[in-house]
Amino acid sequence: MIDIHNLDIDMGRARVVSNLTARFETGRLHAIIGPNGAGKTSLLKAVCGLLPSATGAIRLDGHDLTALSLRERARLMAYLPQERAIAWDLKAIEVVALGCADLSGEDSLKHAQQQLEVMGLSDKAETSVFSLSGGQRARVLLARLLATEAKIYCLDEPLTALDPAWQRRVLEVFKSRAAQGRTIIVSLHDIGLAAQFADDLWVLDHGRLVANGEPEAALSDEVLRQVFNITGTFAEGRNLRIDPQALPEHGA
Ligand SMILES: Nc1ncnc2c1ncn2[C@@H]1O[C@H](COP(=O)(O)OP(=O)(O)OP(=O)(O)O)[C@@H](O)[C@H]1O
């Protein structure tokens, strides 16, 4: 469980997250949504202890985040940044095996192969990552994250570059990993998918948490209008139908 209390984040001279208090529960898939620049990446980085400019309290299972060593934090949490850079042209399986550095050679390759299978890439294990497609490379990086023993996954726009079927498949994998007792936090731009798959939605706007809770409650008419500039209705199965016509820009 992650408890956040009075979190402020400054970037340069601007306050980009203000006075945020909330809790990410274990065993749940949490989605952070909000327009560009709302503060989603900043919040994820702060949760991973990557932003020295963040003030306030972040506690992981009762332990102060800042009191944990880098090694302890790395064991506990896995982070997928928004930039999907792979520095070296390794084989796909070698990239994934970097996620399970605690296992010895044979075991790590076996474990890596299993994660590649989860990501539908078992036949690409020996392929160099630079010769994979963008979506396949994104799935290799997801497999590397899944290969860790981390109890907390923080993923910044993990669906970027994935086709619609893989977007859904990846969210299903996250849900099943959450059900195994992990805390999973993802930032998403597709609010329809967020509504369908997330147990808990966090809506950020201009650095403020404006709604938090189950999707139908968090995505009220007012939030859809004010934050996303759209209208929509929920049908059965948490199916958010967004009206095709965009609203006029705020203030237009
Ligand atoms: N290194 C930085 N220096 C100064 N300002 C920054 C820096 N990084 C981000 N910001 C600002 O912080 C605010 C929040 O950015 P952040 O990346 O957290 O938003 P986001 O919700 O993830 O956006 P997006 O959906 O576009 O990825 C933005 O106004 C951005 O311009």
Picking from 183, 180, 179, 158, the residue whose alpha carbon sits closest to that of residue 168 is 158
| Nearest-CA residue for atom 17 of ligand 1 | 41
Give distance in angstroms: CA of 205 to centre of ligand 1: 12
> Which residues sit with their C-beta closer than 6 Å to ligand 1?
11-12, 14, 16, 34, 36-42
In a domain, 178, yes or no: yes
> Is 121 within a domain?
yes
Domain count, the chain: 1
Nearest protein Cα to ligand 1, atom 16: 39
pLDDT at 52: 84
State the residue range of the domain holding 44: 2-28+40-189
Evaluate whether residue 159 is within a structural domain: yes
Q: With a cut of 0.95, is the ipTM above it?
A: yes
8 located within any domain:
yes
pLDDT of the residue at 250: 59
Identify the pLDDT of residue 252. Answer: 46
Find the 37 Cα to ligand 1 centroid distance in Å: 5
- The answer to the question of residue 248 being in a domain is no
**Positions of the chain with pLDDT lower than 50, given as ranges:** 251-252
**How many Å apart are CA 232 and CA 243, to the nearest integer?**
5
The verdict on residue 222 lying in a domain is no
**Residue 12 CA, closest ligand 1 atom number:** 4
Q: Give the pLDDT confidence of 173-206 residue by residue, as tens digits.
A: 999 999 999 999 999 999 999 999 999 999 999 9
3, 111, 135 from 163: Cα distances, Å: 34, 25, 7
What average pLDDT does the structure give for the chain? 92
| Residue 228 placed within a domain | no
> What is the distance in A from the centroid of ligand 1 to the CA of 33?
14
**SS3 annotation, 147-163:** CCCCCEEEEECCCCCCC
Percent of the chain exceeding pLDDT 90 equals 78
Q: Residue 82 falls within a domain, yes or no?
A: yes
Q: For the segment 125-154, what is each residue's pLDDT rounded down to a tens digit?
A: 999 999 999 999 999 999 999 999 899 999
| Residue 105: predicted pLDDT | 77
For residue 176, what is the domain's CATH number? 3.40.50.300
